[in-house]
Structure 1
Amino acid sequence: MSDPKPDAPIPPTPLDHTPVAPSTAATLVAEAFGTFLLVLGVISTALFAANFGASDNGTSLGVGFVGVSLAVGLTVVAGAYAFGPISGGHFNPAVTVGLAAAGRFPWSGVLGYIVAQVVGGLVATSLIFLVGLYGPDGWLSAAQEGGFASNGYDAGSPGGFGIGGAIVVEVLFTAIFVIVILGVTHSRRGNPAFAGLVIGLTLTLIHLATIPVDNTSVNPARSIATAVYGGALPLGQLWVFIVFPIVGALIAGFSYRALFDGVKKP
């Protein structure tokens, strides 16, 4: 008599791998955290490390403009991969507006994202201010008298550039930044796996080119966050770094949609 056949194995119950869209609250928190990371990284580097150890004989242990530029790029890369899957990884009101203009983001969600980004940036500079309270004698007052790494023109410009230079820089380089984002994240032609890296390197390049002009904004949330602690001059000039990055983003968004996202006629 042959042994009975063993029972056929019972297949495992399939798991439902359908992705669940994050809640509105989760996306807003992710935007706040991402903007917090960006502002904390770049402003901490600018205030604590850029000119560290500078002496009268010209020597310095600081990282300078190059270090600040790398800091902002690295924080964007980290934020993009950490929070991008949740919120899209804007971390910048100009980017949010530009994506909406290009049809990649609903206009109804713009205000909530901007509020979250501004809050995230303000929390970052508030914590930097807190660290400064425990710094060497005179460090915090000197940082505030120097504008707290704020954006500016004329007396607020690292290189003494006027308002015209700041306007051109903010419109032009914000537009370039948004166009790169739209291209690298395109659903058909983009490469999402490398999007965060490309976006971070682009922002690094923008800072390398424009820090001497106006300390590089291309991000109103970053500008607001530093101006609050920078005193009267940065606050008086803040409107330039809110209005013109938004203008550049709108130009980029509408232009990209018209030029590259049109329907091909048969």
Structure 2
Amino acid sequence: MSTPVSAPVTGGIKPSAARDDSPRPGFVARLSAEALGTLFVVVAGLGVPLFTIPQSNPLPASLAAGLALTAAMLAFGYLSGGHFNPAVTVGNAIAGRIRLTEAAAYLGAQLVGALLGAVTLFAILRTIPKISDSRAAFDTVTAGFGEHSITQAPMAGVLLVEVLGAALLVAVYLGTTSRHNPSRAAAPFAVGLTTAVLLQLGQAIGNDPFNPARATASALFSNVDSLGQLWLFWVAPVVGAALAGLVFRGFAQTAAQLQPAVPNAVPDEDDGEEDAAGARAAAAPAPAQDSRTADGDEARDFFDKRGV
């Protein structure tokens, strides 16, 4: 009676998660996915509160925005990784999961998608006879502090909330999309629900969006005074994203130093991830490496089911 031989595991990947031979999404496809996903997020995030009729809308605006983000991640995340937010892209770049050049292109695509979404909503507002001032309507959903805040929240308070909220949102994204997270299948739902909770908090303070692309889109179509405060809704979320990215970069380096060397493991360089030096030292040279171009991020591995 012959002894069964177990299937070898190569490249540190379990047989159940073996890579397929399907081509990687092209760069234009990834940027298009980011633009389209951001457009959806902005249309839902701004459109629901813009067209809300008091006491007749059963779905809160914050929950609608969170559900839209979940749907966008499920629909387009397999192409681009599902950022749809400059803060998330910055966090991924600092964590070493995406190249800086690609991160810059992602930011441009997100701004294009956000502006297209805002233009669409503005055009719809212009067709409604009862809304005489479309810019005044946008004022109700535009982020601001001081006199532009519903609760007259000062600049310091709004800044702190934006930094904290962006850091938490990016941390949830980085943690749930990590290939080492056994619960990564629930990442779109975790990120969407986190967004909904944070928007519910930010709405009462200064319409904090925790998303610079969305803040830019709404500010451009509101009164001119809103543009003077837009800088805060870029600086604060980027700072929060940077903090989360640095923390997760430290986690990756620590995990790489603690991971024992695997004799036949192939160094994981998928999706443009800038591996930590400790991870490269721990992995032994492989006889062959994946011939596909490495040009995405680790989050897309999650959506592709290509990472572990």
Task: Tell me, yes or no, if structure 1 residue 22 matches structure 2 residue 25.
Answer: yes
Residue equivalent to 2:90: 97
Structure 1 residues 176 and 189: CA distance shift in structure 2, 3 A = same
Indicate the residue corresponding to 1:71 in structure 2: 64
**For 2:203 and 2:219, how far apart are their aligned partners in 1?**
16
Q: Say which SS state the counterpart of residue 32 (structure 1) adopts.
A: helix
TM-aligned CA distance change 1:190 to 1:183, over 3 Å: farther
| Paired position in structure 1 for 2:125 | 132
Matches within 5 A, 1:157-168: 157-168=149-160
2: CA distance between counterparts of 1:217 and 1:145?
Answer: 17
Once the 2 structures are TM-superposed, how far is the Cα of residue 210 of structure 1 from its aligned partner?
1.9
Name the structure 2 match of 1:48.
Answer: 51
Identity %: 35
Distance (whole Å) between structure 2 residues aligned to residue 261 and residue 189 of structure 1: 16
Partner Cα distance (1:123, 1:71) in 2: 19
When Rg is computed on C-alpha atoms for both structures, the one with the higher figure is: 1
1:61 alignment partner in structure 2: 56
Moved more, 79-88 or 17-26: 17-26
Q: Is 2:192 aligned against 1:197?
A: no
RMSD across aligned positions (CA): 1.8
What is the identity, as a one-letter code, of the residue corresponding to 2:82? G
Which amino acid letter does the alignment assign opposite residue 22 of structure 2?
P
Deviation at 1:253, TM superposition (A): 0.2
What amino acid does structure 2 have at the position aligned with 1:39?
V
Amino acid of the structure 1 residue aligned with 2:172: V
Identify the residue that residue 39 of structure 1 maps to in structure 2.
42
Q: Which runs of 5+ in 2 are unaligned?
A: 1-18, 261-308
The 8 Å contact of residues 148 and 226 in structure 1, kept in 2 or not, is answered as no
Q: Any stretches of 5+ residues in structure 1 without a counterpart?
A: 1-15, 55-59
User: Judging changes above 3 Å, is the alpha-carbon distance between structure 1 residues 148 and 126 closer, same or farther for their aligned structure 2 residues?
Assistant: farther
Kindly indicate which of the two structures has a greater share of residues assigned to helix: 1
Deviation at 1:178, TM superposition (A): 0.5
Deviation at 1:61, TM superposition (A): 2.3
SS at match of 2:204: helix
* CA distance in structure 2 between the aligned counterparts of 1:143 and 1:110, rounded to whole angstroms: 31
Given the superposition, is the C-alpha separation of residues 140 and 101 from structure 1 closer, same or farther in structure 2, using an over 3 Å criterion?
A: farther
Cα 1:210/1:44, change in 2 over 3 Å: same
What is the CA-CA distance between 1:105 and the residue it aligns to? 1.2
Q: Per the alignment, do residues 261 and 217 of structure 1 end up closer, same or farther by CA in structure 2, a change over 3 Å counting?
A: farther
Post-superposition shift, 1:190?
Answer: 4.6
Q: Does 1:123 align with 2:116?
A: yes
Matching residue of 2:99: 106
**Residue 230 (str. 1) matches residue 225 (str. 2):** no
Q: 1:212, 1:234 → 2: CA distance?
A: 17
The offset of 1:146, in angstroms, is 5.7
Greater than 4 Å deviation, 4+ residue runs: none
Query: Which letter does structure 2 place at the counterpart of 1:123?
Result: L
Given the two structures, how large is their TM-score scaled by the length of structure 1?
Answer: 0.85
C-alpha displacement of 1:246 = 0.5
- Determine the C-alpha separation between the residues in 2 that align with 1:71 and 1:140: 26
Partner of 2:250: 258
